[in-house]
Amino acid sequence: MKKFKFPVQLILLCLMLPMGGMAEKVYQPIMADPMFEPWRWKHVEALDGLGVLCMGEGKDGTLWL
Protein backbone atom coordinates (compact mmCIF):
# COMPACT_ATOMS: atom_id res chain seq x y z
CA MET A 1 0.00 0.00 0.00
CA LYS A 2 2.90 2.30 0.67
CA LYS A 3 4.18 2.18 -2.91
CA PHE A 4 0.97 3.86 -4.24
CA LYS A 5 1.29 6.89 -1.97
CA PHE A 6 3.45 9.00 -4.32
CA PRO A 7 1.32 8.62 -7.49
CA VAL A 8 -1.88 9.45 -5.58
CA GLN A 9 -0.33 12.65 -4.21
CA LEU A 10 0.96 13.55 -7.67
CA ILE A 11 -2.47 13.03 -9.21
CA LEU A 12 -4.13 15.15 -6.52
CA LEU A 13 -1.55 17.89 -7.02
CA CYS A 14 -2.09 17.88 -10.79
CA LEU A 15 -5.86 18.08 -10.32
CA MET A 16 -5.85 20.85 -7.71
CA LEU A 17 -3.04 23.04 -9.07
CA PRO A 18 -5.07 24.67 -11.89
CA MET A 19 -7.88 25.52 -9.45
CA GLY A 20 -5.69 28.14 -7.78
CA GLY A 21 -5.67 30.28 -10.92
CA MET A 22 -9.40 30.01 -11.59
CA ALA A 23 -10.45 32.35 -8.81
CA GLU A 24 -8.12 35.14 -9.87
CA LYS A 25 -8.96 37.75 -12.46
CA VAL A 26 -6.77 40.39 -14.04
CA TYR A 27 -7.02 43.85 -12.48
CA GLN A 28 -8.38 46.36 -14.98
CA PRO A 29 -8.22 49.92 -13.62
CA ILE A 30 -11.08 52.23 -14.53
CA MET A 31 -9.74 55.61 -15.53
CA ALA A 32 -12.12 58.53 -15.05
CA ASP A 33 -12.33 61.07 -17.85
CA PRO A 34 -11.02 64.36 -16.39
CA MET A 35 -13.38 66.39 -18.59
CA PHE A 36 -16.39 65.09 -16.67
CA GLU A 37 -15.16 66.08 -13.21
CA PRO A 38 -17.79 68.45 -11.75
CA TRP A 39 -15.31 70.95 -10.32
CA ARG A 40 -14.15 71.82 -13.86
CA TRP A 41 -17.54 73.13 -14.96
CA LYS A 42 -19.53 76.20 -13.96
CA HIS A 43 -22.82 77.45 -15.40
CA VAL A 44 -22.91 81.23 -16.01
CA GLU A 45 -26.52 82.47 -16.22
CA ALA A 46 -25.54 85.78 -17.90
CA LEU A 47 -24.24 83.91 -20.95
CA ASP A 48 -27.33 81.67 -21.34
CA GLY A 49 -28.70 81.72 -24.89
CA LEU A 50 -25.74 83.64 -26.38
CA GLY A 51 -24.16 80.58 -28.00
CA VAL A 52 -21.05 80.57 -25.83
CA LEU A 53 -19.68 77.03 -25.75
CA CYS A 54 -16.54 77.50 -23.71
CA MET A 55 -14.79 80.08 -21.60
CA GLY A 56 -11.27 80.30 -20.26
CA GLU A 57 -9.50 82.67 -17.91
CA GLY A 58 -6.06 84.06 -18.67
CA LYS A 59 -3.27 84.58 -16.16
CA ASP A 60 -4.25 88.23 -15.78
CA GLY A 61 -7.93 87.39 -15.12
CA THR A 62 -9.19 88.17 -18.65
CA LEU A 63 -12.09 85.95 -19.76
CA TRP A 64 -11.77 84.37 -23.19
CA LEU A 65 -14.94 83.11 -24.91
**Predicted local distance difference test score (pLDDT) of residue 3:** 59
**Residues comprising the chain, all counted:** 65
Q: Which of 28, 31, 63, 24 is nearest to 44 (CA)?
A: 63
SS3 (DSSP) at 56: strand
**Predicted local distance difference test score (pLDDT) of residue 62:** 92
Question: Please, what's the b/e burial string for 26-62 (b: 16 or more CB within 10 A of its CB; e: otherwise)?
Answer: eeeeeeeeeeeeeeeeeeeeeeeeeeeeeeeeeeeee
Q: What are the tens digits of pLDDT across the range 1-60?
A: 555 566 788 888 788 776 666 656 778 889 888 888 888 888 888 888 888 888 888 999
**Predicted local distance difference test score (pLDDT) of residue 23:** 58
**Predicted local distance difference test score (pLDDT) of residue 54:** 83
Sequence spans of domains, the chain: 2-64
| DSSP assigned state of 55 | -
